[in-house]
């Protein structure tokens, strides 16, 4: 088992493990957004930490009792995704979602579970949209389990996550400052997470294909050696040559579709030092030429946005976030309160 674990860790070192973390962070960001919209509070997320471990290692580090949400993907992604929250954190979050004061030792009541399930369902819908945009193909899935469990009793049900001995654990930190609530959420996924079923199948067949290649090449060589003999034996007359049509085969072209899905995400590192124009927009309005010519010192221009409404954060002229205008050391700044979803950005084009 130790050998299998080491091999699994080697396969996902570097960019691949980073890609898994990026994909899982989309779900934690979606949960943060839904919780923030529901509670009307600011929810911040910390960068995800992705590690490779065995089921036994995870059972030792995790809370004894957790709220488990299991997502089964039916298209676009291979495998399952399991999200886990410590039961005491889930209880506090459930109270917050219902507008109650957070107690020191909350219990997960039926009402809290219902409120949390609604949050996870909405977050999954947003996550499917975001992950489809990242991978460039339609991703579909649903929550098939949502219950409080003991981690030690989940070994058999988690076996698909830790196939081959190891799986990926992505830990995301979430902070609700207004409620003084800071917690972590774990996501368990298989090491081939992010690949569609065809890509995962290709990966398992690669070794077999490579073994068969020398045999096929030898057969092709033999066919080529026999070809001149067959051609000489059946040499046609000049008349036959001019009247016999040569067989025509349809040209075959390899697909130019994005390969590897997640591998392309790693290429974003090539652009990290590219400078972009960033601007903050308080609001807009329309004025005719006469009104513009009449402007002078002391003139007041009314914008379309209402007072207190979030300002737009633009990158190269496209809205990517919204936030509150603040003053820092005598200079204007912005506190981000909302990240615009990929779908909303596409609709604005």
| pLDDT tens digits along 126-137 | 989 988 888 888
Output the pLDDT for position 171.
Answer: 93
The phi-psi region of residue 129 (left if phi > 0; otherwise alpha if psi is between -120 and 50; otherwise beta) is alpha
Contact (CB, 8 A) for 20 and 194: yes
Which residues in 24-40 are b (16+ Cβ under 10 Å) and which e? bbbbbbbbbbbbbebbe
Rounded to whole angstroms, the Cα distance separating 80 from 59 reads 18
Report helix, strand or coil for 165: helix
Rounded to whole angstroms, the Cα distance separating 27 from 33 reads 10
Which residues in 127-141 are b (16+ Cβ under 10 Å) and which e? bbbbbbbbbeeebeb
Residues whose CB is less than 8 angstroms from the CB of residue 45 and which lie 6 or more positions away in sequence, other chains included:
25, 28, 29, 32, 172, 173, 174, 175
Rounded to whole angstroms, the Cα distance separating 111 from 90 reads 12
| pLDDT tens digits along 96-111 | 998 888 888 888 888 8
Output the pLDDT for position 83.
Answer: 94
Q: How confident is the model at residue 252 (pLDDT cuts 50, 70, 90)?
A: low
Quickly tell me which residue has 């193909």 as its tokens: 137
| pLDDT tens digits along 327-341 | 888 888 888 998 887
| Other Cβ atoms within 10 Å of 102 Cβ, number | 15
Rounded to whole angstroms, the Cα distance separating 272 from 133 reads 20
Number of C-alpha atoms within 13 angstroms, CB side, residue 136? 10
CA of residue 191 relative to chain centroid, distance = 14
| pLDDT tens digits along 289-305 | 988 998 998 899 988 88
Output the pLDDT for position 316.
Answer: 83
Report helix, strand or coil for 292: helix
| pLDDT tens digits along 136-192 | 888 899 999 999 999 888 888 888 888 878 888 999 999 998 878 888 999 999 888
The predicted model gives 228-232 an average pLDDT of: 44
| pLDDT tens digits along 7-65 | 434 345 556 788 888 888 999 999 999 999 998 889 998 888 999 989 888 888 887 89
Q: How confident is the model at residue 262 (pLDDT cuts 50, 70, 90)?
A: very low
Round the CA-based radius of gyration of the chain to a whole number and report it.
29
| Other Cβ atoms within 10 Å of 162 Cβ, number | 22
Q: Is pTM, for the whole model, over 0.75? A: no
Rounded to whole angstroms, the Cα distance separating 335 from 94 reads 26
| Other Cβ atoms within 10 Å of 73 Cβ, number | 19
Phi, psi of 23 (to 5 degrees): -65, -45
Contact (CB, 8 A) for 116 and 67: yes
Q: Is 113 exposed, middle or buried (0-12, 13-18, 19+ CB in 10 A)?
A: middle
Phi, psi of 304 (to 5 degrees): -75, -25
Quickly tell me which residue has 């092709």 as its tokens: 220
Alpha helices, DSSP H, located in the chain: 2-11, 15-39, 55-61, 87-97, 110-135, 197-233, 238-243, 263-266, 289-293, 342-347
Output the pLDDT for position 347.
Answer: 61
Structural domains of the chain ordered from first start: 2-198 (3.40.1550.10), 275-293+303-347 (2.30.330.10)
Indicate the range of 19-28, 260-269, 340-349 predicted with least confidence. 260-269
| DSSP assignments along 24-46, one per residue | HHHHHHHHHHHHHHHHTS-EEEP
Contact (CB, 8 A) for 69 and 83: yes
């Amino acid at each position: 088992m130790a050998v299998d674990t080491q091999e699994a860790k080697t396969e996902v070192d570097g960019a691949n493990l980073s890609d898994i973390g990026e994909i899982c962070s989309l779900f934690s960001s979606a949960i943060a957004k839904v919780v923030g919209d529901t509670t009307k509070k600011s929810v911040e997320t910390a960068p995800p930490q992705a590690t490779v471990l065995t089921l036994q290692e995870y059972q030792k580090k995790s809370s004894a009792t957790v709220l488990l949400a299991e997502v089964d993907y039916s298209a676009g992604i291979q495998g399952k995704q399991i999200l886990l929250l410590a039961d005491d954190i889930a209880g506090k979050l459930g109270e917050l979602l219902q507008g109650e004061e957070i107690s020191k030792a909350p219990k997960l009541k039926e009402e809290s579970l219902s409120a949390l399930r609604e949050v996870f369902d909405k977050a999954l819908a947003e996550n499917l949209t975001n992950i489809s945009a990242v991978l460039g193909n339609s991703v579909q899935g649903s929550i098939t389990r949502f219950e409080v469990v003991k981690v030690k009793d989940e070994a058999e049900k988690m076996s698909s996550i830790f196939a081959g001995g190891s799986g990926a654990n992505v830990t995301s930190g979430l902070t609700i400052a207004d409620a003084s609530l800071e917690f972590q959420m774990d996501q368990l996924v298989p090491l081939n997470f992010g690949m569609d079923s065809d890509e995962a199948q290709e990966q398992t067949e690669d070794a077999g294909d490579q073994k068969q290649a020398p045999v096929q090449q030898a057969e092709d060589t033999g066919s080529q050696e026999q070809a001149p003999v067959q051609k000489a034996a059946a040499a046609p007359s000049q008349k036959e040559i001019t009247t016999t049509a040569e067989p025509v085969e349809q040209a075959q072209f390899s697909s130019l579709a994005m390969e590897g899905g997640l591998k392309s995400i790693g290429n974003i590192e090539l652009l990290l030092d590219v400078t972009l124009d960033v601007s903050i927009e308080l609001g807009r309005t329309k004025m005719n030429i006469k009104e513009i010519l009449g402007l002078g010192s002391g003139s007041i221009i009314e914008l379309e946005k209402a007072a207190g409404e979030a300002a737009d954060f633009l990158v190269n002229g496209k809205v990517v976030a919204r936030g509150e205008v603040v003053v820092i050391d005598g200079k204007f700044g912005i506190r981000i309160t909302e990240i615009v979803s990929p779908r909303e950005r596409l609709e604005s084009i």
